Amino acid sequence: MPSDFHDIASVDNTNAVLSRMARRGDIMRAMRGVYAKPKHVNALGVDVPPSPDAIAHAIARNNRWIIVPSGDAALNRLGLDVQVPAVYEYVSSGPYKSYGYGRFKIVMKHRANRDLLDCSPLTCLVIQALKALGKDAVDDQVVHRVAERLSTDEIDTFYDETRGSTAWIFEFAKKMREAKGC
């Protein structure tokens, strides 16, 4: 992001240098105001653009927002859904806003800061994934799949941070502790 360089160069110089580097192919312009160093995959002989998640986090960092994947993006991140979402949704401390990035759409949905600051990013991610599934779809298979992906310490943290949460989410935390043998 151009703002990453404001402490060492003027806005005009930063924009000029980034544009020049993008024209030369040293960096790529992912979207307006967002640049990335492409990763080259030797086996395929191509440059791989940054993921929509990386772009979302760059936007959030630039705007000083806290974001957590929600919906299909949260399910995919936890391995509960293997499909790559076309729309990457995030709950955010910023405003409602959407961005186009290639064939993907990045959507920021405002939530109160208390929903994002009261717990760790992992706890927020698991809660968002559970909300995407819905209370009725969260069964023992989901409990075991999530418990397999988390360490004992992460499950203990999730348990502690969801004590004041919705009852069914805290029940999920209890079941995860049992499944992991905590």
Cα 115 to Cα 112: distance, rounded to the nearest angstrom: 6
Question: What Å distances lie between residue 17 and 13, 26, 59, 161, 177, CA to CA?
Answer: 6, 11, 20, 45, 52
E strand map for 111-162: none
- How confident is the model at residue 105, as a pLDDT? 94
Round to whole Å and give the CA distance between 92 and 110.
5
* Amino acid 75: pLDDT: 92
Which pLDDT band, with edges at 50, 70 and 90, does 79 fall under? confident
Q: Does pLDDT of 114 surpass 70?
A: no
C-alpha 7 chain-centroid distance = 27
pLDDT bucket at 113, cuts 50 / 70 / 90: low
Domains of the chain, residue spans: 1-50, 52-180
Least confident window among 4-8, 43-47, 104-108, 129-133 = 4-8
DSSP 3-state of 100: strand
* Window from 48-52, 97-101, 106-110 with minimum mean pLDDT: 48-52
Residue 41: pLDDT band by 50, 70, 90 thresholds? confident
pTM of the full structure: 0.80
The residue among 159 and 38 whose pLDDT is bigger is: 159
